[in-house]
Structures are given as structure tokens and as C-alpha cells.
Amino acid sequence: MVLVRLLVILLLIRETLAIVLKNGGYEDVYVIILDSNSESDFLLKRIQNVMTSASKLLFTATHNRLYFRKIKIIVPTSWPSKPEYKQLPINSIKESYFSVDVHGYKAPHTKGLFMCGKGGHYMHLSPTFLDEGRSDWGLHDRVIVHEWGHLRWGLYNELPVGAEKFYQADGKWNPVRCTDSIDGDVGLYEGGKCKRSNECNINDASKKMNKKCSFCPYRSQDVDASLMGNQWIHKLSDFCDEDVSTVKKEHRHNRFAPTEQNKQCNYRSAWEVMREHKDFQTVTKLPTSTNTVPEFEIIRETTSYRVFVFDISGSMEGSRMTTLQQTADYVIQELISNGTWLGIVSFSTNAAVEKDIIEINTQTDRDDLKNAVPTEADGWTCIGCGLMEATKLLSEKKDSLQSNVSSIDFTIEDGLGKDTAFTFMTPVDRNIQLQLNGPNSYTQFLETYGNNATLYVPDIAQAGEYTMTVTTDEIPGTAEYHVKSVMTSDDVVRVTSMLSTNNIDFSSGELPVIFTDVTKSYLSVLNATVSASVETNETSCDVRLKDDGIDPDAVINDGTYSGYIFPDCLSYGRVSIKVNVKGNKRETMILKSVTGAANPFEVDEKPVIYERSFQRVEVLEELYVTNYKDTGTSDVIAPGRISDVSLYHIRKESTSQGEVRNFTITWTATGDDKNVGQASSYILRISDDFETLLNDFDSAEQLEMGNVSLIPQESGEKEALKIVVDAEKAYTETSFFAIQAVDEAGNKGDVSNIISIVVAKGYRAAGEEGTLTIEDDKDNVTSIAECNCGMKLLIVVQIIVSFVYVLY
């Protein structure tokens, strides 16, 4: 039997492995084992055991609502066939859901998480994590459910963001954590433990906490929230919920802490985000006795025979035809792997074979297929004609393949070649001769009797074209072969892109965002040049995607590049988008650490310089725009949201009237139109009530600027503001601070992230010149070299605001 695949191309040809949710049970959950893994029954058993325990915990963590019902484990073609394996052609795009790969970072992590509530692209698991015993990242079920929160529901970590491991509130420094019920030690972090030190005094809020100090939660403690925080704590089994009296105290979300969840999800708890996800819209609680053990199906990949069926009827004329050609070119050049078979059929009023099915092994094969893609559209639409012609073509190929097996070509690419082996298999025993010819007159011969033969290439196989000639004493009814060659390096750069939405109502004021994740062996690639070509029937423009942490980019230098599509790049109807990624030799860097499951013993490594150049192209799914209106020269775009307001430095002085504290606040300037240009002004507000800044920003007290205007700098520049607070009473209260940028047309950006500072009752505040150079004093000595100096400073004249404390 020869297995074939029919692939219909209308406007989009990317296949997806879609998870299905039925009555609380997830089905079609794929765990894909990459061919970097040697054949291993142990690995298969471990995947089943880990996913079974994760399913049980998922059921508990979602309050008896969701679990894994059916899981498909995909083993690679490099593994020998077994009777218990179902044989199917599998999607060649392996970055879907769970990916088990030897290469890459060992920490379990999710790639492609771009927006709160949207979910990610796939979860990377290493065989090291799947070993027996407690993993370095905690119990396996806790880790899987933690990462499932990222992958499925778009949750973020409830861990410190960068160096912000503590925040000020209630007269002291508080560890960043989701719930205050989590206990632990505070001290200098060494070897996975906190060594107590006078430098880590949480009760002294008059100076900045030493950056070497950490909070180390106890691994064993009687708390069960939150799984999105330190998932390696033994008993964690739930997610944080709202901070209201109806929620158990240990489950209440801490909105004050500067976590990724707070910054990216507008201070909503995990459960608040989860309830808005489609998974929770219709499901109800299931009986406690529900069987949560998944049904497992093991599927072995086989060679795929595809026919692309193109719609070239009159309805495809214009941008649709252009998009079809670009997408086909991208898939033929980038996504279809060597050793697979592809033909091309087109249809309009009738159907025609544009290219017979051929095996793809060389660039010439790809060029021949690309040149066969139709370029003109005309006629009626007869989809059935195209499908019938494709089915006929596949049937003919099946018959020809069963008649003879004699010569087989394949390519060993540069960077591959380790442990190369060619295996030929037939249903019954027979005489088999294998002769391998390769680059530089390389030849090797093997003769054997049986139902399979494997020829091994010693050492590292040379890169180039190979031909295997197979001779048998009779023509087999069916035959199968595969070639295995392990990477000699992790030198593969991959690009994953998506849109914030594929359908946009222009009248809503929302702007679509392009997100692109650039990785090499699952590690983030920094300093790449990323741009997108955006085309409509009327316009064509380029969008620059940046990894600078400025709206819409969430985190600086994490390998995710983001950019808005502005109104002048849009029009009514379909919008085609193609992402271009380029990296120059020794300019890009590989981030050796990832934001994955927490490991208290892990130490972040410095990025390394990438020694090669690369270029990638990816075609996105089309964007469809409704209610478009040409805005002309009107300024309708507001400045971007400032998301990195932080407390940079604190200095204390004692006076005859009481204590004075100088708080240096910093942030990155946003632009006039989102992250482009220069905003006109800032609105600075401070309040004793967190809710006021979050939900009613305009009613909070605004800092008076006197007769001096506060002029923002160009987008991307570092700003600094010093707020001087003096009071006669003890510093035991909390106040909150946030910023909003405004452009010349009066458009206001979204309110920034909110920070907290410790103040006193009846305190007074004034603004002074801000600086990123920290002056040495007795309480806190910091060298200038540690201060990121050289950035432009924001000079702020004195701001005086009186706050009156009212006794109730």
C-alpha cells in the first residue's frame, strides 16, 4: 500500500493540527517526537505516563471541567515500523502543540505566546525533562499544566520581570509572587538557596533592594496556588483568582506585584483570563469520578504524496492570485521537505495538470514546481473538476510506484551527516543489494537477505547529493525506505509569525499587530532585521518589526519582534502580508536562556554571537478589513502604551522636619503614533488607591507642572524623573504612580503599568531633575558603570502636590 495525500489550495495552504474540545475532553492533542530522538519505547512510555498525570491535574486545576481525552503521539520516519503503529502521512510543519526534541534549551517552554488570552504555537519538551523521577523544574504534571496555561489560554508567568524581584508596599519590600500565602526565605541567592544577609533587609524601604537578593519559596509547603508562578512547589494544584472575599485567601491574585501576568493581562488574574477563553464558555463541571486517563494513539510518519489544487477562476484575479503565488512559492521553497512527492493541478471552468507528481530532492525540482504555478485567473469555478483530476493523478502515481523500486535520490545538507543510515524494507524476506553513490566518488555496497537492509555511513557523511540503487531478486508488491541523518550542529533558524487578528473592523480604532518569533533550535535570536510587506489592491508598504519592549512589543530582547499596521497600509477587503527576516554574520545573537518553567537551580547564560548570516520569508494568513475609511491627513493614532515604568533608585535624607526620600522613576519614551515619532506631553498621576489609577485614571491627582511643559523625548529614549517625598510621620503607607502619553491632536495612549512606593501619612511630593547616574551615599553605593549611563535624561522642574490624610 502506498499512502497518498490530497491537498487543496484555495487561498491558504498551511495545514494545521487543530485541537478539539468535546464535553470537557481535549481531543487531537499531538505530541510530535522529532527525529533527533533515537527509537525508544521508554520515551513513548514516559510521554504516556506524564500526560496521564497531567490530565488528572488539569481536571483538578480547572475545577473538574477539562482534561486530555485523546492524545496522538507521532514518531518519525527514522524509527522502524511496528504493527502497533498506525501509518499516516503527517503535516511537515512540526511546530504544533507538544514538540519533543533533543536539541534546544532543556527547560520546558512555550513558543509563540504573543498576546494575553491568545495562546501560543507549540510547547517544547526535552527528553531530559521526560526522564523518570522529579525533574529539575518540578513534578511533571505541574510543569505540563503550567505550560498548558501559556499554550492554550495565553497566560503569563507570575514571576519577577527581569531584575524586579521585589516591590514596595505597606512600609517594606515585598517579594514578587502571585499570592502572599507562598512562604520562603529572602537572602543572597547561591546554589539554589538563599543565604541570609543584612543586605537583604525587606523592612528597610528607604533604599533600593540589592539586586543580588532573591526570594526563595519553600519547595514543600501547604499552598495550592498558583501554577503560573513557582510551579516546582510540591502541592500547587490551582490558579490564582480575583482578589475578592469570595475567593480563598491563598488563591487571591496579587495585582501589585510587577509580574508578566499583571503587565501583559492588565492586572487580571489567571482565572479571570481563563473564564474569557472559549474553552470555558460552554463547559460545565463534570463528575468527580470522570475517567481522566487519555486514549493514546501512536502514529508513524510515512512519505507524503501531495497534489496542490489551485483555484484559478475569475474570482481569484488581482491580489488573491498574487497571494496564491507567493504562498505556493513559500511552501514549495521552505516547507516541503526533501524526499516527499508533489504535483500541481489547476481548475477554473475545467481542470488541468500543471505538473506531474515528482519527488523533491534538489533545488531544480523546487524551481520546476514553482514555475508550474499558474499566473493568470479566468473562467468559472469547478472545484469538483480539480479534485477529480488530482485524485486521478494520485492513483496513477500509486500504480507506477508499485511496479518498480530501483533508484532513490536524497541530499545530505550542510550541518547534517552524523550517524547517517539508509534502511530499505519489504513485506517478505528476499535478497537485497544496496549501492550508495555520493559526492567525490564516494561509494559503498551492502548485500543481505531478509525483509530489511540498513547501510550505515561511517563518521560524518559529506554534504551533497546521494543516489541509492536498490536491487532485489523479485519486484516487491510494496516497499518502504527511510534515510536518517543527525544534525552536526543546531544551525537552523526558524521563523513563526501571526497576526493579532485576521478580521478587523476599521471603525473600532483597533490596529492589527504582526508578531514574529525568531529562534534557532528553540532559542531566541536577537538583533535580527525583521520587516513585513503589506499589500492591498490599492497600497503597498513596509512595516518594521522591533524587539525593543515598546508597544506593541511586550518584552525587550526576547526574540519576539512586533509591529503595528497603520491605516495608510490598509484598505477595504483582503490584505496580504509577507514577513522577511534577515540576520548578518556576527550581528545577531542567540539568547541562551528562555522564559520557561521555573527552575530554582538554573543560572541564566549570556547571549552568544551567531557566526552565520541567514534569511527567511514567511507568508501570513490574509487579513480582512471591513468598514474601512480613508483618514487622509488626520491624526487618529494615539501614542503607544508605556509598559516599563520602574523604580530605579531611592535615597534617604533626614531633616529637622522629618524624613525625605528621593525616588528616581524611569521608563522608555513612546511615540506620537504608537511607537513612531515623539509624543507631545505626559500626564503623570499619583494616588493612594490602586483601583483609581487602573480603572479611573482621569480622576486621580495630577502632578502640577507649574509654568513648564514636560516634553517627551523620541520613542525609545530613556526617561528619568525624581519624585521627592517628605513627611513627619513614619513611612508605612503605599502610593501608586502611572503615566499616560498624549500627542498634538489630543489622542491619549493607554495608561502605563502601575508602580508602588512607600510613603507616610500626610506626605508631600515634589519633582526634580531625573538622572540615571546614581550618587554614592552611605546607604546605597552603586557604581556609575552599572547604571546604563549615556542615555538622555528627562529634566523635570519642581512639582509640588499636597496630600491630605483624612481620618475616618
Taking the C-alpha atoms of residue 679 and residue 668, their distance in angstroms, rounded to an integer, is 12
Cβ-based neighbours of 531, under 8 Å, separated by 6 or more: 542, 543, 544, 545, 579, 580
Taking the C-alpha atoms of residue 472 and residue 428, their distance in angstroms, rounded to an integer, is 12
Nearest Cα to 30, choosing from 161, 123, 130, 168? 123
Residue in the block written with cell 505540563: 144
Whole-angstrom CA distances from 205 to 196, 208, 658, 733, 783 are: 17, 7, 16, 11, 20
**Cell numbers standing for residue 290:** 470522570
447: number of Cβ within 10 Å: 11
What is the per-residue DSSP string for 636-660?
-PPBPPP---EEEEEEEEEETTEEE
Q: What is the pLDDT of residue 752?
A: 96
80-117 residue pLDDT tens: 888 888 876 655 444 458 999 998 888 999 988 899 99
Taking the C-alpha atoms of residue 27 and residue 19, their distance in angstroms, rounded to an integer, is 6
Q: Are 630 and 701 in contact (CB under 8 A)?
A: no
Q: Are 536 and 566 in contact (CB under 8 A)?
A: no
Determine phi and psi for 67, rounding to 5 degrees.
-160, 175
Q: Do β-strands 122-125 and 97-100 pair in parallel, antiparallel, or remain unpaired?
A: parallel
Q: What is the pLDDT of residue 483?
A: 62
First to last CA, the chain: 84
Q: What is the pLDDT of residue 476?
A: 56
Could you say which residues of the chain have pLDDT below 50? 1-16, 92-95, 401-405, 490, 776-808
Q: What is the pLDDT of residue 486?
A: 57
Q: What is the pLDDT of residue 595?
A: 67
Q: What is the pLDDT of residue 758?
A: 96
Angle at 455 between CA 454 and CA 459, to 5 degrees: 130
| Cis, peptide link before residue 226, omega less than 30° from 0 | yes
Taking the C-alpha atoms of residue 702 and residue 724, their distance in angstroms, rounded to an integer, is 15
- Which pTM does this prediction carry? 0.77
Q: What is the pLDDT of residue 126?
A: 94
Q: Do β-strands 213-217 and 193-195 pair in parallel, antiparallel, or remain unpaired?
A: unpaired
**Cell numbers standing for residue 382:** 469547478
**Cell numbers standing for residue 147:** 505550560
**Cell numbers standing for residue 441:** 566518488
Cβ-based neighbours of 12, under 8 Å, separated by 6 or more: 327, 621, 622
531-584 residue pLDDT tens: 999 998 888 899 999 999 999 998 889 999 999 999 999 999 989 998 999 998
Taking the C-alpha atoms of residue 527 and residue 338, their distance in angstroms, rounded to an integer, is 30
Q: Where are the alpha helices (DSSP H) in 216-302?
A: 260-264, 270-276, 279-282
Q: How many CA atoms are closer than 13 Å to the CA of 87, on its beta-carbon side?
A: 14
Q: Is 557 left (phi over 0), alpha (psi -120 to 50) or beta?
A: left
